[in-house]
Structure 1
Amino acid sequence: MDIWPQTTAWTGGQLHLGGVGAVELAEVYGTPAYLLDEADFRARAQAWLDALPDGDVHYGGKAFLCPEVVRWLDELGLSLDVCTGGEMAVARAGGMPPGRVVFHGNNKSPAELRRAVEWGIGCVVVDSFTEIDRLAAVAAELGVRQRVMIRVTPGVDPRTHAAIATGGEDSKFGFSLAAGLADRAVARVAAEPSLELYGLHSHIGSQIVELEAFGLAAARMAEFAASTGVTRLDLGGGLGVAYTPGDPAPPTPAELLAVLRKETEGLRLAVEPGRSIAGPSTVALYEVGTVKGRYVSVDGGMSDNPRPGMYGAAYTAALANRRSDAPLSEVTVVGKHCESGDVLVRDLPLPSDLRPGDLLAVPVSGAYQRSMAGNYNHVPRPPVVAVADGSARVIVRRESEDDLLRLYP
């Protein structure tokens, strides 16, 4: 399974992305850094548009978002989903038309809802009875009729990590279909003059690589839509990606859409891919600092990739700055943080002559890494550098220690 971005080339053992070498990128932009292959990102987004020409593709902004990416999405014709006021601010900064933005979240504040309605947001996905009342009051006060979708919990087990499964009955998200709460939510929205029931929404989880769960959720949602008279159905995102060469190839957007269409004939569909667009498009680049037995320490770690620690997520890595004919030796790539659990890649075969100053590249680093990155041990977050057609540019700058110190009064 090829897990590297589409423009990847190895010349003299050195990784090149978008026609730019890893050594040059490290010298100019430093490490650690996220290297985003713009052509790869755009091609993956276009594949979703091609798979759903008669529906709506909302990019899942929580995977990775910045104003420049918003501009790419707008140019391509994708819509966008956001789930906080901060993500909404980024959407506005990137120039996304508000009518093409969908607002998610299980606990939107009154202030966030007001900002969304004042901006003219296309749709709010309501997640609780409290939120229905809250949004209705805001819309009535502002004198508008706000479009909403109702988030429904269809009771489907997506067979993914428990922390990213959202479609089961025991979930903090949405209205239970089995318990009758979704029916009550439909009635509550219909009773509010300031709200328009625009559609139904479900999202069963993330990093899902089996189509059966998607099909079951679609069938249940289509049956419920028929009982309510709603003709728009947003079935969320969640399509998984391969992170290591041994992972099976995930379904394509076209394969997923074929399953969804089979169960939802006559309905206008929307989907919300995020990881499957952003994830494979980006490579994280690190510099080796020490080699101590089987431990190879790099200049990043759990602050720029918390997923191994949170989910047990598996990654791979490759020597990116030179060719080596040395025998392979199994190592564990660790970060610089004061935690024994600060591990990026376990049991990885790398050349036995690996040494300080070498560069390691970790593919499939575009989703839920920069967006979940933090400042543990007061480590500034890395930049995002877009590469395309032989050139590179910063689209998210590197944080500095001055940035961190500005937070202190």
Structure 2
Amino acid sequence: MEDGRGFARRHVTPEHCSRLPSMHLSGSAHINPAGELVIGGLPAPELAERFGTPLFVYDEALIREQCRRFHRALQKTGLDHQVSYASKAFLCRALARLMAEEGLGLDVVSGGELYTALAAGFDPAHIHLHGNNKLDSELRRALAAGVGCYVVDSLDEVARLNTLAGELGTRARCLLRVTPGVEAHTHDFIQTGAADSKFGLNLASGQASEALRAMLQAEWLDVLGVHFHIGSQIFGTEGTRAALARVLAWLAGEREHSGFAARVLNIGGGFGIRYTGADQPQPLEDLLAEVAAALRAGAAEHRLPLPQLWLEPGRSIVGEAGWTLYTVGTVKQIPGVRNYVSVDGGMSDHLRTALYGADYEVALANRMHGAPQGTYTVVGKLCESGDVVARDKPLPEPRHGDLLAVSCTGAYHYAMSSRYNAMLRPAVVFVKDGEAREVVRRETYDDLLRGQLD
């Protein structure tokens, strides 16, 4: 899907390019005297030589620091709290273990994510299972493993989870996911709190109340509280505070009706990050302080006991820590129209530009000091006109064999990768203090055939 700018034609002179801002470097990233991008103490060309391209590179120290920022910020609020990593952003066994080391829980949304977490040795008591259509097989696996919390998403799920938990003789700790009718100022596809959403149960229609009462009457369900999530890549707290106000007012009515008092209020995630200079996310510390103040005020207004505050950050933990490295192939110049630079990956490992019209910063990782000589649209090698990585970006004149870096690709890139056009999924490496460890190996052509029958 194209953004509003689409493929608007524009020509930028070298003089204009020289005044454009350079790529923002976060975490450990910097430029060495040779003009090479360095991540985690290792030059990008060295990483590409060792592991090949396309390559996902994660700044491990930055991931850990983001985890710790959430802990520190929430501790300052004085609220009882819990932070769980939203694994849909990116999950592998090494990352699950890192989250455990940093004291985070884990949110999973499928049987595959649950399987990965358990294979990593993650404590199932600290796993939450989400999803608008949990399969009975997924619920059975989770119940047998001892998963700590289920985010119930429908009336149908109330009955099924209660039956399955009863069959195993175990009580399932639950949150009810509600849709508060608040729309986040973000892309339509990543808004989840509006009334028209496949997620959760609507407050205004009475469905949420019906589900809560069914859960309270279910023999094998232990209802901890409620959950909402209004969307992703959100920069401020206006939407979250509006949703809080509606949910707390609803909880006050439910307490009067049934005596139910929520022990937990999970506000989801969706905290935005900086992809380009156009993005101005609110500092995490300020954001959480505002949310905590709104929760305290709302609970006091409605004379509700102050619940634990649960969060589910994903993108805000791993997004800026991730980089994609590509090798430049064909460079094509269309005079007066556009310059194209093709790389050895594309929408099979970088889908968000095609899907959301997302914007990214790019640079030549082996020539970071080079002055821009024009604007270039970076495209992939897949057989689709929409296979675009980044549009009209200032770069030194790219050459065949150059190394191109895309920043802020830690979330929803490898997780959304595919085998379209029989592409191979890239390797993933974690880098820290001058050392690199491969945590996901590059796929091989044999992997493409695995599972196929003659």
Query: Does the pair score TM above 0.5?
Result: yes
Which of 314, 321, 326 is matched with 2:359 structurally? Answer: 314
**Equivalent pair of 1:3/1:280 in contact (CA under 8 Å):** no
Q: Does 1:230 align with 2:262?
A: yes
Aligned residue for 2:229?
Answer: 203
Aligned residue for 2:288?
Answer: 257
Which of 43, 50, 54 is matched with 1:32 structurally? Answer: 54
Cα distance, 1:317–1:20 mapped onto 2, change above 3 Å: same
Aligned residue for 1:61?
Answer: 87
The equivalences for 1:294-305 within 5 A come to 294-305=339-350
Which of 293, 310, 322 is matched with 1:270 structurally? Answer: 310
**Equivalent pair of 1:5/1:37 in contact (CA under 8 Å):** no
The equivalences for 1:298-377 within 5 A come to 298-323=343-368, 325=370, 327-352=372-397, 354-377=398-421
CA-CA distance at 1:327 after TM superposition = 4.7
**Equivalent pair of 2:31/2:368 in contact (CA under 8 Å):** no
Aligned mates of 2:202, 2:239 — CA distance in 1: 17
CA-CA distance at 1:196 after TM superposition = 0.7
Aligned mates of 2:429, 2:200 — CA distance in 1: 36
Q: TM-score, normalised on structure 1?
A: 0.97
**Equivalent pair of 1:4/1:280 in contact (CA under 8 Å):** no
Q: How many corresponding residue pairs?
A: 407
Deviations, residues 50-103 of structure 1 (Å, cap 9, x unaligned):
122330001110001111011111011111100001000111112211111110
Q: Does 1:6 align with 2:6?
A: no
Q: Determine which structure has more spread, i.e. the larger CA radius of gyration.
A: 2
Aligned residue for 1:123?
Answer: 149
What value does the CA root-mean-square deviation take over the aligned residues?
Answer: 1.3
Cα distance, 1:255–1:339 mapped onto 2, change above 3 Å: same
Moved more, 361-370 or 209-218: 209-218
Aligned mates of 1:200, 1:264 — CA distance in 2: 14
The equivalences for 1:153-172 within 5 A come to 153-172=179-198
CA-CA distance at 1:264 after TM superposition = 1.6
Which of 41, 55, 58 is matched with 1:19 structurally? Answer: 41
Cα distance, 1:5–1:397 mapped onto 2, change above 3 Å: farther
CA-CA distance at 1:326 after TM superposition = 5.0
Aligned residue for 1:286?
Answer: 326
Aligned mates of 1:56, 1:355 — CA distance in 2: 49
Q: What is the DSSP-based 3-state SS (H/G/I as helix, E as strand, rest coil) of the residue aligned with 2:28?
A: coil
Give unpaired runs (5+ residues) of structure 1: none
Aligned mates of 1:289, 1:165 — CA distance in 2: 37
**Equivalent pair of 2:127/2:148 in contact (CA under 8 Å):** yes
Deviations, residues 100-137 of structure 1 (Å, cap 9, x unaligned):
11100000000100110111000000101111111000
Amino acid paired to 1:171: S
Cα distance, 1:184–1:325 mapped onto 2, change above 3 Å: closer
Amino acid paired to 2:213: A
Cα distance, 1:270–1:324 mapped onto 2, change above 3 Å: closer
Amino acid paired to 1:262: A
CA-CA distance at 1:350 after TM superposition = 0.4
Cα distance, 1:170–1:23 mapped onto 2, change above 3 Å: same
Cα distance, 1:325–1:260 mapped onto 2, change above 3 Å: closer
Aligned mates of 1:35, 1:327 — CA distance in 2: 25
Aligned mates of 1:213, 1:110 — CA distance in 2: 34
The equivalences for 1:96-175 within 5 A come to 96-175=122-201
Q: TM-score, normalised on structure 2?
A: 0.88
Cα distance, 1:370–1:76 mapped onto 2, change above 3 Å: same
**Equivalent pair of 2:237/2:291 in contact (CA under 8 Å):** no
Aligned mates of 1:67, 1:363 — CA distance in 2: 23
Moved more, 57-66 or 323-332: 323-332
Cα distance, 1:325–1:4 mapped onto 2, change above 3 Å: closer
Cα distance, 1:259–1:323 mapped onto 2, change above 3 Å: closer
Q: Does 1:83 align with 2:109?
A: yes
Q: What is the DSSP-based 3-state SS (H/G/I as helix, E as strand, rest coil) of the residue aligned with 1:308?
A: helix
Which of 252, 270, 273 is matched with 1:241 structurally? Answer: 273
Amino acid paired to 1:361: A
Deviations, residues 142-193 of structure 1 (Å, cap 9, x unaligned):
0011111000000001011000100000000101001111111110001111
Aligned mates of 1:221, 1:177 — CA distance in 2: 8
Aligned mates of 1:133, 1:3 — CA distance in 2: 50
Deviations, residues 235-270 of structure 1 (Å, cap 9, x unaligned):
0000111111x2233122222212221222222100
Deviations, residues 256-315 of structure 1 (Å, cap 9, x unaligned):
212221222222100100001110001100000111111100000000011011100111
CA-CA distance at 1:3 after TM superposition = 4.1
**Equivalent pair of 2:107/2:127 in contact (CA under 8 Å):** yes
Aligned residue for 2:423?
Answer: 379
Aligned residue for 2:301?
Answer: none
Aligned mates of 1:323, 1:45 — CA distance in 2: 30
Give unpaired runs (5+ residues) of structure 2: 1-20, 256-260, 297-305, 334-338
Cα distance, 1:324–1:231 mapped onto 2, change above 3 Å: closer
